[in-house]
Amino acid sequence: MKDHLLWLVVLSLLTSLVFTFLSRRRAKERLRYFLLVFFSFVLLSIIAGWLMRPLPF
């Protein structure tokens, strides 16, 4: 329950799924878009976390 990365992945997964079904209609397009959004969410969140690391709060 205390695993940050697990919850980040779960949140990204569900959010990406909703975005995918909101913006794409065909199955193949949906798969590509889902993977793009999901990995972008995870990767950018990790990068943002590292960038915020030196901040004092």
CB neighbours (10 Å) of residue 20?
19
Binding to another protein (CB under 8 A): which residues in 12-31? 14-15, 17-18, 21-22, 25
- Smallest separation (angstroms) from another protein to the CB of 36: 17
- For another protein (CB under 8 A), the number of binding residues is 13
- Smallest separation (angstroms) from another protein to the CB of 33: 13
Is the distance from CB of 20 to CB of 33 less than 8 angstroms? Answer: yes
- How far is the CA of 1 from the CAs of 5, 17, 34, in angstroms? 10, 22, 25
Of 8 and 50, which has the nearer Cβ to another protein? 8
